[in-house]
């Protein structure tokens, strides 16, 4: 019976073509508007590493001056003094300090040098964040200790320099010194880039071209390629002065074996801060924080208020479109009152009439969903033009494709409930007298 009703629904699309086109277009615009913003919202609010997001923590140690207001949050980053001490303590399953570096790559056979963005990280960075490899692998902990010259390349950068071949063991000149390629990442671009949420423009950017050992970057005096916040008079001149100062420019992450160890790590962190305060540092005392991935994303306002407001407005617009569709379906079904009366007189039950016209509403929704898909791609294109950050997440995946059609069908069925119920109330005798 459903197949028969479905055929009737398809035929009904050709009847009253103007009215049908208005319904389809109304649903399509409402669905496209809402699904465009929902696609962006889903990408921005998703868990970038669900397998362990409750076991990865950003460590914040507050080294601000004593007069800092108590309500002011700690610095997002750490100084090298604190990062060095925490690394030496080796608390937790894995840990790494990191900072952004930039410089020049001098590949052989290229027409010129290349400006690159990189990260100076510890060997634990790769297993900690489940970084996939296409060739080779990360360097070992021994390299961290001795400051080796191994480098890991992103998939895109390696393909640009070496094509499809495995470059493991090849030499490459970066940052004015030679490095040996330890491994090449498989395509990897977490959304958002939770491990380095610094500033608004890089949280949805592409993966860095190179990853080098933190100890090597420090020995090479590679300056931070990003924010450096200093309190007081600032550091002494030179890179050594920066490392020995209270300037913050490093991110520090720790992985715990399970979320229950959070309190124990927090207690050890408090002990470290008390010890440093006794030595004359950290005048504000114990104001450290340990934030897991979702808390860190919320702290950095990854999902901005503007995005949430746009989504709510889009959903409100969809509701308006559904209300308009109700009116159009009432007009369409009312025009069929005589047909309904004849069918009821021939023995059709109210349930059968209800099913028939509800299926017709679903067919209108399916048509609106297909049209809405095209409009959704257009909406995502317009959203992508707002900023590079939005452009990075304004992409439709298979799940959202199916959701777009499903939302249109559900919206049409909901819109069709009242008109269909009204159609079932047709009195056959009255309609037959008027024919």
Per-residue pLDDT tens digits for 332-367: 666 665 566 656 566 667 777 777 777 777 887 788
**Domain assignment present for 56:** no
Q: Give dist(CA 296, CA 302) in Å, integer.
A: 9
Long-range contacts of 373-380 (CB under 8 A, 24+ apart): 373/32, 373/401, 373/404, 373/405, 374/32, 375/28, 375/29, 375/31, 375/32, 376/31, 376/32, 376/35, 376/36, 376/39, 376/404, 378/32, 379/32, 379/33, 379/35, 379/36, 379/37, 380/36, 380/39, 380/40
pLDDT value at residue 432: 46
39 & 140 share domain:
no
Please give the structure tokens belonging to residue 401.
Answer: 């494709």
Question: Do residue 72 and residue 202 come from a single domain?
Answer: yes
Sign of CA dihedral 185, 190, 194, 200: positive
The answer, yes or no, to whether the previous bond of 192 is cis (omega within 30 of 0) is yes
Contact between 77 and 249 (Cβ < 8 Å): yes
Do residue 422 and residue 283 come from a single domain? Answer: no
Beta-carbon contacts of residue 64 (< 8 Å; ≥ 6 apart): 72, 74, 75, 231, 284
Q: Rounded distance, CA 293 to CA 200, Å?
A: 17
CB 214 within 8 A of CB 141: no
Whether residues 32 and 90 share a domain: the answer is no
Residue 121 to residue 97: CA distance in whole angstroms: 6
In a domain, 234, yes or no: yes
Same domain for 409 and 362: yes
Residue 108 predicted with pLDDT over 80: no
Does residue 97 register a pLDDT over 90? yes
Residue 52: inside a domain = no
On whether residue 381 sits in a domain, the answer given is: yes
> Does the pLDDT at position 323 exceed 70?
yes
Q: Which domain holds residue 315?
A: 2-47+304-434
293-303 residue pLDDT tens: 988 888 887 76
Contact at 8 Å (CB) between 201 and 227?
no
Highest mean predicted confidence (pLDDT) among 119-128, 220-229, 410-419: 119-128
Per DSSP bridges, beta strands 94-106 and 177-185 are unpaired
The answer as to whether 390 is a domain residue is yes
Separation between Cα atoms, residue 391 and residue 79, nearest integer Å: 33
Q: Are residues 210 and 341 in the same domain?
A: no
Do residue 134 and residue 238 come from a single domain? Answer: yes
pTM (whole model) above 0.95: no
Statement to judge: residues 313 and 249 lie in one domain? no
User: 262, 287, 312 — which closes off a domain?
Assistant: 287
Burial class (CB in 10 A: 0-12, 13-18, 19+), 232: exposed
Do residue 21 and residue 84 come from a single domain? no
Is the predicted pLDDT of residue 27 greater than 60, yes or no?
yes
- Does one domain contain both 42 and 68? no
Does one domain contain both 312 and 420? yes
Return the half-sphere exposure (C-beta side, CA atoms, 13 A cut-off) of residue 154: 15
Number of independent structural domains in the chain: 2
């Amino acid at each position: 019976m459903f197949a028969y009703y479905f055929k009737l629904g398809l035929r009904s699309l050709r009847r009253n073509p103007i009215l049908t086109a208005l319904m389809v277009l109304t649903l399509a615009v409402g669905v496209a508007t809402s699904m465009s913003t929902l696609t962006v919202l889903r990408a921005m609010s998703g868990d970038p590493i669900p397998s362990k997001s409750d076991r990865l923590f950003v460590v914040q140690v507050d080294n601000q001056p004593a007069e800092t207001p108590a309500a002011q949050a700690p610095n997002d980053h750490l100084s090298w003094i604190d990062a060095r001490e925490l690394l030496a303590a080796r608390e937790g399953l894995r840990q790494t300090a990191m900072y952004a570096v930039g410089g020049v790559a001098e590949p052989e056979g290229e027409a010129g040098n290349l400006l690159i963005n990189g990260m100076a990280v510890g060997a634990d960075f790769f297993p900690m964040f489940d970084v996939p490899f296409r060739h080779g692998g990360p360097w070992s902990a021994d390299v961290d200790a001795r400051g080796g010259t191994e480098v890991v390349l992103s998939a895109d950068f390696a393909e640009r320099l070496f094509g499809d071949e495995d470059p493991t063991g090849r030499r490459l000149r970066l940052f004015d010194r030679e490095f040996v390629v330890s491994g090449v990442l498989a395509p990897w671009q977490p959304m958002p880039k939770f491990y380095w949420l610094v500033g608004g423009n890089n949280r949805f950017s592409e993966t860095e071209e190179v990853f080098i050992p933190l100890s090597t970057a420090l020995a090479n005096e590679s300056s931070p390629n990003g924010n450096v916040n200093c309190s007081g008079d600032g550091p002494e001149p030179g890179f050594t002065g920066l490392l020995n100062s209270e300037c913050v420019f490093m991110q520090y992450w720790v992985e715990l074996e399970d979320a229950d160890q959070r309190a124990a790590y927090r207690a050890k962190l408090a002990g470290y801060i008390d010890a440093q305060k006794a030595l004359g540092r950290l005048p504000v005392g114990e104001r450290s924080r340990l934030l897991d991935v979702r808390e860190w994303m919320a702290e950095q306002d990854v999902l901005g208020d503007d995005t949430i407001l746009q989504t709510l407005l889009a959903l409100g617009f969809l509701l308006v479109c559904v209300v308009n569709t109700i009116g159009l379906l009432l007009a369409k079904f009312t025009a069929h009152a005589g047909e309904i009366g004849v069918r009821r007189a021939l023995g059709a039950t109210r349930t059968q009439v209800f099913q028939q016209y509800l299926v017709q509403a679903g067919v209108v929704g399916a048509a609106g969903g297909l049209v809405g898909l095209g409009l959704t791609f257009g909406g995502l294109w317009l959203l992508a033009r707002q900023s590079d950050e939005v452009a990075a997440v304004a992409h439709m995946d298979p799940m959202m494709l199916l959701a777009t059609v499903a939302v249109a069908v559900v919206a049409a069925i909901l819109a069709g409930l009242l008109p269909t119920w009204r159609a079932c109330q047709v009195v056959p005798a009255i309609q037959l007298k008027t024919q």
